C-alpha cells in the first residue's frame, strides 16, 4: 500500500494491463507514468525513478479485520459468482503468466512468503516456517527484524525491534500478544503497541513488507535470504 501524494500533489492510479516479471504495473492518470506495484517506483515515463511513500498494511481474512476494526468500511467491486476464475491459477505450480525470470528452487514456486526489504538486504520469511515459529527475532549484520505471524489468518507483520536505542527480543505470551524479554512488557503483535508493563504506550516501527508468492519475490530480489525456523 502506498500514498497517492507525490511532492504535495495527489495522483490517481489505474491498472495498465502490463506486467514486469509477473508483477502488476500501475499507471498514474496525471502523467501516464508506469509504476511497479511491488517496488512502488516509477519505471517508465515522466516520473521515472520517483518512489511512492510506503504505508504500513497487512494481508488477512475479513473475519480477522472485522475483529480488529469493527466499524471499518469495505470496498466492494463485484464478484465472480460461484467459481473464481483464478482458482485454477492458485492451484497449479505455474510461475506466473509469463514464467519466472530466474529459476530458484530453494522454495516451491508458489510458496507464500512475507518479503522484507531493507536498505542493503532482503529476506523472505516462508509462511510454512512462520507457522512453526510465529515470533521471529531475526538479525543480519547491523539490521534487526521482528516478525509476528498468525497462521490461522496468514497475517504477517514486520517491525524494527530497536526502541529508543535499545534492542528488544520477543516471545509469544498468549495468541497474538507478545512479550519482550528485556522489560517483560506485553505488546499487541498486530499493531506493535505495548499494552502493559514498563513500556506501555510505546509503539514499534513497522518495516516495509509484502505477502507474495516465492516466484514473484525472488524475481525482484535475486539475492534474497530465506528464514528457516530452528
120 and 37 both lie in a single domain? no
- pLDDT over threshold 80, residue 3: yes
128 and 220 both lie in a single domain? yes
Structural domains in the chain (count): 2
Average confidence score pLDDT of the chain: 88
14 and 120 both lie in a single domain? no
Q: Which of 7, 15, 4 minimizes the C-alpha distance to 55? A: 4
- pLDDT over threshold 60, residue 87: no
Helix (H, G, I), strand (E, B) or coil at 218: helix
Q: Which of 103, 104, 123 minimizes the C-alpha distance to 113? A: 123
CB-based contact 170:187 (threshold 8 Å):
yes
Q: What percentage of the chain carries pLDDT values higher than 70?
A: 89
Q: Supply the range of the domain harboring residue 39.
A: 5-44
| Residue 188: other Cβ atoms inside 10 A | 17
Does some domain include residue 56?
no
CA dist 213 → 173, 200, 201, 217 (Å): 30, 36, 35, 6
Q: Note the pLDDT tens digit of each residue in 175-217.
A: 889 999 999 999 999 999 999 999 999 999 999 899 999 988 9
Instruction: Please tell me the distance from the alpha carbon of residue 159 to that of residue 208, in angstroms, as a whole number.
Output: 8
Q: Which of 56, 35, 21 minimizes the C-alpha distance to 209? A: 56
- pLDDT over threshold 70, residue 97: no
pLDDT at 183: 97
36 and 116 both lie in a single domain? no
79 pLDDT band (50/70/90 cuts)? low
Mean pLDDT of 52-80: 83
10 pLDDT band (50/70/90 cuts)? very high
Does some domain include residue 147?
yes
Q: Note the pLDDT tens digit of each residue in 134-164.
A: 999 999 888 999 999 998 889 999 999 999 9
Q: Note the pLDDT tens digit of each residue in 30-39.
A: 999 999 988 8
Instruction: Please tell me the distance from the alpha carbon of residue 157 to that of residue 149, in angstroms, as a whole number.
Output: 7
pLDDT at 142: 87
- pLDDT over threshold 90, residue 27: yes
30 and 127 both lie in a single domain? no
CA dist 157 → 56, 109, 127, 148 (Å): 9, 22, 12, 5
Does some domain include residue 53?
no
- pLDDT over threshold 70, residue 17: yes
pLDDT at 23: 81
Cβ burial of 54 (10 Å; 0-12, 13-18, 19+) is: middle
Does some domain include residue 213?
yes
Amino acid at each position: 500500500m502506498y500514498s497517492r501524494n507525490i511532492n504535495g500533489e495527489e495522483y490517481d492510479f489505474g491498472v495498465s494491463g502490463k506486467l514486469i516479471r509477473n508483477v502488476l504495473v500501475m499507471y498514474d492518470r496525471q502523467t501516464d507514468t508506469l509504476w511497479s506495484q511491488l517496488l512502488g517506483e516509477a519505471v517508465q515515463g515522466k516520473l521515472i525513478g520517483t518512489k511512492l511513500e510506503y504505508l504500513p498494511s497487512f494481508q488477512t481474512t475479513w473475519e480477522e479485520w472485522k475483529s480488529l476494526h469493527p466499524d471499518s468500511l469495505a470496498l466492494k467491486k463485484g464478484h465472480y459468482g460461484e467459481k473464481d476464475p483464478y482458482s485454477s491459477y492458485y492451484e497449479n505450480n505455474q510461475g506466473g503468466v509469463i514464467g519466472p525470470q530466474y529459476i530458484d528452487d530453494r522454495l516451491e514456486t508458489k510458496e507464500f512468503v512475507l518479503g522484507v526489504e531493507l536498505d542493503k538486504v532482503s529476506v523472505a520469511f516462508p509462511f510454512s516456517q512462520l507457522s512453526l515459529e510465529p515470533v521471529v527475532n531475526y538479525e543480519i549484520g547491523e539490521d534487526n527484524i521482528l516478525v509476528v505471524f498468525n497462521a490461522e489468518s496468514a497475517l504477517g507483520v514486520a517491525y524494527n525491534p530497536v526502541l529508543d536505542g535499545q534492542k528488544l527480543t520477543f516471545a509469544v505470551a498468549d495468541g497474538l500478544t507478545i512479550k519482550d524479554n528485556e522489560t517483560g512488557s506485553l505488546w499487541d503483535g498486530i499493531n506493535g503497541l505495548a499494552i502493559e508493563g514498563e513500556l506501555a504506550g510505546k509503539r514499534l516501527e513497522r518495516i516495509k513488507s509484502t505477502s507474495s508468492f516465492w516466484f514473484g519475490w525472488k524475481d525482484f530480489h535475486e539475492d534474497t535470504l530465506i528464514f528457516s525456523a530452528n
